[in-house]
Chain A
Amino acid sequence: MTMDKGLRLGEVAFGLAVLALGVFIAFETWTMPVVGATTTVGPRLFPGLVAAGLILVGLWLQVEALTTGPVEADGIEIDWPAFSLVASGLLLQIVLLETLGWIVAGTLLFVMTARAFGSRRYGTNMLIGLLLTGLTLLVFDLGLDLELPVGSLFEPLLDALQK
């Protein structure tokens, strides 16, 4: 029963989120500066329609959540610690990518995600992560001319090596 309640809460929250997005877009559209009213349909009409659509659907979802209840009756259990581990791994990667570089940030993400899926073999996972990120860096930066960051911390080191 508690799961049922949780899912119902999820439905209400979902409806509210849609509603909030609609209101936000409506507000932004309302306050958007208008440059030259020469065109018959300005840049504000479509956002207005989208905002109206979001608000209506948000309300519809509320009504549905309160009257008919969740579509799936049995509810869903969620392992929040595992979820947070993956989510924070991704965030850490964003923070560290440009200083520590693709290899370090990527390996960290690899190890954290593997841990979230229950693997505790940190040594092996780190090795695989290093291999995977190292290989992709090589293939992409040398072979395909794309730029995965080496990391600003390591760049002086590389420059020194090349001299």
Chain B
Amino acid sequence: METLSALLHGFSVALTPYNLMWSAIGVTLGTAIGVLPGIGPALTVALLLPVTYNLDPTSAFIMFAGIFYGAMYGGSTTSILLNTPGESASIVTALDGHAMARKGRGAQALATAAIGSFVAGTIATVALTFVAPLMVRVALAFGPAEYFALMVLALTTVTAVLGDSLPRGLASLFFGLALGLVGIDLQTGQARFALGIPELLDGIDVVVVAVGLFAVGETLYNAARHRFEPEEMYDLKGSKWMSREDWSRSWKPWLRGTLIGFPIGALPAGGSEIPTFLSYLTEKRLSRHPEEFGHGAIEAVAGPEAANNASAAGVLAPLLSLGLPTSATAAIMLAAFQQYGLQPGPLLFDNNSTLVWGLIASLYIGNVLLLVLNLPMAGVWVKLLAIPRPWLYAGILIFATMGAYTLNNNLVDLVILWVIGLIGFGMRVLDVPVAPCIVGLILGPMAEQQFRRALAISQGDLSVFVTHPISLALLLIGLLLILVPMLLRRRRAAQLPA
């Protein structure tokens, strides 16, 4: 009951006209930016950070909730109409969504994505409301050793699960960890890897890295590739509404997608790639028309989109209650919290309960606003997709450099942005996943702190990590997550030649 009254209080905060306005602005801006090709939710949140600098934290995070959901919806629009998924979680949507668009059923694909996202987002937010306080209770039992093990687990899953090649994922992860080392060591005040540049003493900002890898790297990549990859855009035509058959084929995938998405997203090792793929496979297996999959089956859009949104809400559970980001977007959100001097975790629920519950309440509101705004405005978003590419990418760079510069008002951030952008280009060409780097950058320093705290308590005895049962279990799961796929791959490789 405590939860309910806290939530009601949250609504009373989020429903004030002032905060409602920020929520609406967030949803609109989030969709408008998220719909631009090549811009995923993580980058949208990063680019829109400067807009919130002057708000009080509660309104800022209410706006972020809107941006977050808006960006996700915008991203699915791009995947469906343009086949350019802005993040790995919408790759699955692009498969059948774009096939539907090619058949002139783009409007239905967008509608099932929007309504599915609404259904999944709402159910998942309810689940978040009740799971987050439970997680807080668990988190209170955690010491530094357990936190460290949890972070190791999160880092290994983000790395091992994404992409086809483990060494590439690991390279990206260690690069992120290396970037995280730069700056003053929190425990001893020792400057590390600052190369004599005073601006580097504060460390490298996650936002600069994310914008560099996503916006600058992506723009460089597209500049280098646009001559070879013509795009095909499909406009909306015909009936804009879902038929009775569309509805009856959509509602079960929405619910199943939610059921798959939230729990996996809420795990401290979550992310949203696995649930979308799982949902796709589930729908294909259950469908009466599996042959349609890959050629525009509406279930294949409805399920994964619901799973994507549900897991996005799920990801907020470990972020808010443990301070543990498990996706690139969550890493940026965490950076935003830190910018306000807030540290997500059990204490946040006590010290800033207005902010936390206002944020959760605004997730409900954001969902409703998104549906209300997007069904009628789909046509406007589609127009944004048609912006000529030279202007689009030139504009992206203008906003990217503006975001990086205004963080601290110095040129060093722009130089870092440039270097990271070139590296991002290289990673894109060589197919190296980007998310491990970003999560590594933000989790690395936190993991180091917990690691050293644990050892300080145990007086240098390394065995704390394996004698504490929770810590041991978490580390073992992490190890299994790396080893099992490797063994499976080896077995498959051994079977192939035969």
Give A contacts to B, CB under 8 Å.
7, 10-11, 14, 18, 21-22, 25, 28, 32-33, 35-36, 39-43, 45-47, 50, 53-54, 57-58, 60-61, 64, 71-72, 76-80, 82-83, 85-87, 89-91, 93-94, 97-98, 102, 106, 109-111, 113-119, 125, 128-129, 132-133, 136, 140, 144-148
Partner of A79, one of B224, B389, B394, B401: B224
Of the residues B164, B227, B429, contact of A82 by C-beta under 8 Å: B227
Q: Which among B324-332, B334-342, B414-422 touches the partner chain?
A: B414-422
B411 touches A39 (CB 8 A): no
The answer to whether B398 and A106 touch across the interface, beta carbons within 8 angstroms, is yes
Contact B227–A79 (Cβ < 8 Å): yes
> In the complex, which residue of chain A has the Cβ closest to the Cβ of B447?
A46
| Min C-beta distance of A10 to chain B, whole Å | 6
A41 touches which one: B219, B226, B455 (CB < 8 A)?
Answer: B455
- Contacting residues of chain B (143-200) with chain A, CB-CB under 8 angstroms: 164-165, 167-168, 170-171, 174-175, 177-178, 181, 185, 187-190, 192-193
Instruction: Please name all residues of chain B whose beta carbon is closer than 8 Å to the beta carbon of A78 when the two chains form the complex.
Output: 224-225, 429
C-alpha gap A114/B390 in the complex (Å)? 4
Given A28-B193, A82-B223, A97-B414, answer yes or no on A35-B188 (Cβ-Cβ < 8 Å).
Answer: yes
A112 to chain B: closest residue by CB: B394
Q: Could you tell me if A32 and B228 are in contact, using CB atoms closer than 8 angstroms?
A: no
Closest B residue, CB atoms, query A14: B430
How far apart are the CA atoms of A58 and B171 in the complex, in Å?
7
Could you tell me the dominant secondary structure of chain B's interface residues?
helix
| Sample of 11 more A-B contacts, CB < 8 Å, known A77-B228, A90-B216 | A39-B452, A46-B448, A50-B178, A53-B174, A57-B170, A61-B167, A61-B171, A76-B225, A113-B397, A114-B393, A148-B406
Q: Once the chains are docked, how many angstroms separate the CA of A78 from the CA of B229?
A: 11
A54 to chain B, nearest CB (A): 5
Tell whether B12 is near chain A: CB-to-CB under 8 Å. no
Tell whether, in the assembled complex, residue A39 and residue B456 are in contact, meaning their CB atoms are under 8 Å apart: yes
Contacts of B397 in A (CB 8 A): 86, 89-90, 109-110, 113
Q: Does B467 lie at the interface of the complex (its beta carbon under 8 Å from any beta carbon of A)?
A: no
User: A129 contacts which of B170, B394, B426, B451 (Cβ < 8 Å)?
Assistant: B394
For A136, what are the chain B residues with a Cβ–Cβ distance below 8 Å? 398-399, 402
The B40-92 residues at the A interface (CB cut-off 8 A) are: 50-51, 53-54
Given contacts A72-B431, A119-B388, contact A14 B170 (CB under 8 A): no
- Of B170, B223, B418, which contacts A83 at CB under 8 A? B223
Given A82-B224, A109-B398, A148-B402; A14-B414 close (CB under 8 Å): no
Q: Mark B442-475, 1 if CB is under 8 A from A, else 0.
A: 0010001001100110011000000000000000
Is B3 among interface residues, defined by CB-CB distance under 8 A? no
Given A85-B223, A110-B394, the answer on whether A146 and B53 have CB atoms closer than 8 Å is: yes
CB < 8 Å: which of A10, A41, A119, A132 contacts B456? Answer: A41
Report the count of interface residues on B (CB-CB < 8 A).
Answer: 68
Decide yes or no whether B239 CB sits under 8 A from chain A. Answer: no
A113 B165 Cβ-Cβ under 8 A: no
Name the distance in Å between B160's Cβ and chain A's nearest Cβ: 13
CA distance A42 to B50 in the complex (A): 36
Query: Does chain A have a CB within 8 A of B119?
Result: no
Task: Give the A-binding residues of B (Cβ under 8 A).
Answer: 50-51, 53-54, 164-165, 167-168, 170-171, 174-175, 177-178, 181, 185, 187-190, 192-193, 216, 219-220, 222-228, 388-391, 393-395, 397-399, 401-402, 405-406, 409, 411, 414-415, 417-418, 421-422, 425-426, 429-432, 444, 448, 451-452, 455-456, 459-460
| Residue in B closest to A85 when the chains form the complex, CB atoms | B223
Q: Using Cβ atoms and an 8 Å threshold, which residues of chain B touch A147?
A: 406, 409
* A46 cross-chain contacts in B, Cβ below 8 A: 181, 444, 448, 451
Q: How distant is A128 from chain B, measured CB to nearest CB, in Å?
A: 6
Smallest CB-CB separation from B401: which chain A residue? Answer: A93
Nearest A residue to B395, CB-CB: A132
A–B pairs, 17, beta carbons within 8 Å: A11-B430, A28-B193, A39-B187, A40-B455, A40-B460, A43-B185, A47-B193, A53-B170, A60-B167, A79-B228, A87-B422, A90-B421, A102-B402, A109-B398, A115-B390, A116-B223, A117-B226
A residues less than 8 Å from B226 (CB atoms): 79, 82, 117-118
B192/A79 in contact, CB under 8 A: no
CB contacts (< 8 Å) of B395 on chain A: these are 110, 132
**B459 CB contacts on chain A under 8 angstroms:** 40
Query: Which residue on A lies nearest to B427, using beta carbons?
Result: A14
Asked if A18 and B220 make an inter-chain contact with CB atoms under 8 angstroms apart, the answer reads no
Question: Which residue in chain B gives the minimum CB-CB distance to A95?
Answer: B411
Q: Which residues of B have CB within 8 Å of A82?
A: 223-224, 226-227
- In the complex, chain A residues whose CB is within 8 Å of the CB of B429: 10, 76, 78
Task: For residue A5, give the distance in angstroms from its CB to the closest CB of chain B.
Answer: 15
Question: Quick check: B174 and A94 within 8 Å, CB to CB?
Answer: no
Residues of B within 8 A of A117 (CB): 222-223, 226, 389-390, 393-394
Q: What residue in chain A is nearest B166 (Cβ atoms)?
A: A60
Separation of A14 and B175 alpha carbons in the complex (Å): 12
Task: For the complex, give the distance between the alpha carbons of A91 and B394 in Å.
Answer: 14
Q: Tell me how far the C-beta of B86 lies from the nearest C-beta in chain A, rounded to whole angstroms.
A: 18
Cα-based distance from A100 to B402 in the complex (angstroms)? 15
Known: A50-B178, A91-B418. A97 touches B171 (CB 8 A): no
Q: Are A144 and B193 in contact (CB under 8 A)?
A: no
- State the CA gap A140–B167 with chains docked (Å): 42
